[in-house]
Structures are given as C-alpha cells and as structure tokens.
Amino acid sequence: MIADSVPIEVETGPQPVASIIWLHGLGADGSDFEPIVPELGLSESPAVRFVFPHAPYRPVTVNGGATMRAWYDIAIDGRGFHQDETHIRESEQAVRKLIAQERERGIDSRRIVLAGFSQGAAVALHTGLRYPEPLAGIMALSMPVPLPERIASELNPANARVPLFLAHGTQDHVVPYPMGEYGYRLLDQLGLPVEWHSYPIDHTVSLEEIADISTWLTRVLAA
C-alpha cells in the first residue's frame, strides 16, 4: 500500500535546486507541516522544494483499530511499541518513489533531505539509512526508532555518514522521551554523525526547535 493522493508541494523560490521530503505523523496528513515552511526562513536563492506526501488510510491497532492515515500499523503493550515491519517497508518504497521523482526533476540525491515527525520520522530514518545514493541529510523528530535490530546490518554504505538531526520533547507522552534518547544513542554507537536536541515540550514542535532545524537545513543543503 502506498500514499493514495498527490503530495502537497511548496517552493521557496523559482527553479528549486534542493528538495525536502517531509512525512507527517500518525493521523495527520501532508498539510500538517506545510505552515512550517515560511517559519524556517530559508533563503529564496537557491530555492528549495518541500514535498509533503499523505500516508495511506489503514486500521491502527494502538487507536482501537480505527482507520486513519498511517505510514504503518503500530501497537503498544507492556514491552513497548510494536511497529509493523511489512508496512514500514511498503512506506519505504513509497518514499523511494518520491526521491526518484525529485531525481527526474533534476535534483541531485546529495541535495535531498528526508524529514519527518513521529511515525513519519521513523519512515524517513528507515528509508534514508538504506537508500543506495548519498542524501543531504535525514531529520527525525519525536521518533520511535524503527526496527532497531536491523539498522546495523541494513545500513547502506552510501549513507553511512549522512548528517542526522534528531530531536525529542522531554515531556512527550505519546512517544516517551527515553525512546528518542535510545534512538540517538543507538545511531551514535553505530558511528553516524548525529546532532541531538531535546526540548521541554510534549509531542509537538517548538519555536526553538524550528530555529535549530533551520540552521541545520541551511548547513546540510549548502554542503
């Protein structure tokens, strides 16, 4: 199953030379982070294209089986989150198609950032670390780390040094802070260049976080 509608696109200026593919969280859609574009204050030159895809609709176990937009099914019990591997890999293929579309439009893979929030961040990280061409960076916000036991064996050498931006709220009650910290420590132990940020917030994004994201994006897209 792949996303079932055309992504929202926002360009900061004419003739974009870089792309940011940004995946929303569980139950939201591509419009969720569209308002963040002007807040990031990125330069109009060179221009950047933001691509905000929509996850497909599917039943979600953690929400009582209700159908909503979700990159994958997820359940929770006393041992923690259980993220559906088959769905994650289906979503990986959907994101790869989006990358391919940007490549066909003339964007070099080294000028493409994969980004996401919560469940979308998990898919962005999963896809980016396995992608066979070098990316500009991967940004994962408030994320439950996906398939942690598979990362080391499936990490593609092309992105073994990809810049990573990880952030999490210390008061997050949806994806508890220790989960985010665990993801950071795991990636750091694997030798990946992780930039880690924490904020005194719940499962959301703060103004301070947006400013840090802007600084990081400006740096990785200029590299």
Q: Is-cis flag, bond preceding 46, omega within 30?
A: yes
Measured distance CA(194)–CA(164) in Å, rounded: 5
Q: Give the active site residue among 108, 198, 203, 214.
A: 203
Q: Give the active site residue among 91, 118, 142, 168.
A: 118
Measured distance CA(76)–CA(60) in Å, rounded: 11
Catalytic residue at 173?
no
Catalytic residue at 118?
yes
Upper half-sphere CA count for residue 47 (Cβ side, 13 Å): 9
Q: Give the active site residue among 32, 73, 84, 172.
A: 172
Contact, 3 vs 24, CB < 8 A?
Answer: no
Measured distance CA(54)–CA(7) in Å, rounded: 6
Cα 209 from chain centroid (whole Å): 15
Residue with tokens 């497909």: 56
For 105, phi then psi, to 5°, come to -85, 5
Contact, 91 vs 41, CB < 8 A?
Answer: no
Beta pairing, strands 74-77 & 80-83: antiparallel
Measured distance CA(116)–CA(67) in Å, rounded: 21
Residues annotated as catalytic (active site), given as ranges: 118, 172, 203
